[in-house]
Amino acid sequence: MLLTLIITFSLAFAFSHIVLCAEPFRSELVEKMGTMRFRIVYSFIAVGTFAPAAVIAFTNRHLGPVLFVLPRWAELSLALILMFGAVQLIVLSLATPSPVSLMPVKPEPRGVLRITRHPMNMGWVLFGLAHVIANGALGDVVFFGTCFVFVGLIGPFHMDARKRRQAGETMATFLKETSVIPFAAILLRRQRLILSELAWPMVILGIGIWAALVFYHGRLFGAPLL
């Protein structure tokens, strides 16, 4: 029963994002309802589906059949690397807002935006991947894989479509020069990494947060890493 609830609420959370964020359906709803009313309804649905999934998944971990088991060294190494990237992207997104987010900023590649134009979303994707790798049970894989990995990946493409529709050519240039997947634009030579542009105080803060999560993970979440 609990496993079914996790799957149901997780899928409902993902499905609501797909439907309510898709263009031009989202714009039509905003036009009919108004921006504020749409955001209230959207937030109500998001919280109403994610919160039950998160509470049930957190209090009833490792439900269902085990889909895979990695060697401990591989599981821990991959999870720690992914979480380091996740924390860095999330904290750097606070220092460098993206023009494809809700913040109205100039559409130019700089800092972490050279790595990914959606650092917050990609941070949560890496967070989800780290926890999928570390937890192979069906309930964990569905919750983290759906609510963080899938939603985190699909969201940026919805946001890009909306911004392209609203801003036109200026935003199209920014989208062409950057990438959703971290480092993809750099590897394709559409962009280059300039370390001096990164918000280094936030990088140091991210290292501290990551270290604290590693050392206190057992005390905070009941699953020691070291």
Peptide bond connecting 24 to the previous residue in cis, omega within 30 degrees of 0: yes
Q: Give the pLDDT of residue 104.
A: 67
Cα R_g (the chain), whole angstroms: 19
Determine how many CB atoms are found less than 10 A away from the CB of residue 2: 13
Is it the case that residue 166 has pLDDT exceeding 80? Answer: no
Q: What is the DSSP string of 82-142?
A: HHHHHHHHHHHHHHS--TTSSS-------GGGGT-S-HHHHHHHHHHHHHHHH--BHHHHH
Can you give the pTM of this predicted structure? 0.93
Is it the case that residue 70 has pLDDT exceeding 80? Answer: yes
Domain boundaries, the chain: 64-221
Q: Give the pLDDT of residue 44.
A: 93
Q: Give the pLDDT of residue 100.
A: 85
Q: How far apart are CA 140 and CA 21, in angstroms?
A: 25
Q: Give the pLDDT of residue 214.
A: 94
Is it the case that residue 146 has pLDDT exceeding 80? Answer: yes
User: What would the pLDDT profile of 26-44 be if each residue is shown by its tens digit?
Assistant: 878 888 888 888 889 889 9
Residue 207 binned pLDDT confidence (cut-offs 50, 70, 90):
very high
Q: Which residues contact 14 (CB under 8 A, 6 or more apart)?
A: 146, 147, 150, 151, 154
* Cα first-last separation, the chain: 33
Query: What's the mean per-residue pLDDT of the chain?
Result: 91
Is it the case that residue 168 has pLDDT exceeding 70? Answer: no
Q: How far apart are CA 150 and CA 53, in angstroms?
A: 15
- Contact assessment for residue 118 and residue 100, using Cβ atoms and an 8 Å cutoff: yes
- Contact assessment for residue 57 and residue 101, using Cβ atoms and an 8 Å cutoff: no
Is it the case that residue 64 has pLDDT exceeding 90? Answer: yes
